[in-house]
């Protein structure tokens, strides 16, 4: 299986996005989500695990409204 790290078009697009023409593109530049934080929220309904990820698009309410609930 070919590695994306050897595909010039992909490497060039990552360098352009990162605004660094000399960037050594590697595994850290794959399309994985970045988790910013993880914590527990305690409420009257129990303990809830919360994970905060980078924003990927519009919020859930906007999506619900777009498709008429």
* pLDDT by residue, tens only, the chain of 69 residues: 456 667 888 889 889 988 999 988 876 776 667 789 999 999 999 999 999 988 877 888 888 998 988
Domain that holds residue 36: 4-66
Give the residue from 32, 48, 31, 28 showing the smallest Cα distance to 40.
Answer: 48
What does R_g of the chain's alpha carbons equal in angstroms? 19
Note the pLDDT of residue 5.
64
Domain count, the chain: 1
pLDDT value, residue 26 = 77
Q: How far apart are CA 66 and CA 62, in angstroms?
A: 6
């Amino acid at each position: 299986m070919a590695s994306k790290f050897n595909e010039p078009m992909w490497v060039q697009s990552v360098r352009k996005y990162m605004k660094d023409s000399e960037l050594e593109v590697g595994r850290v530049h794959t399309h994985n989500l970045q988790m910013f934080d993880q914590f527990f929220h305690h409420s009257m309904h129990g303990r809830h695990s919360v994970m905060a990820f980078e924003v990927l698009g519009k919020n859930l309410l906007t999506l619900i409204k777009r498709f008429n609930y």
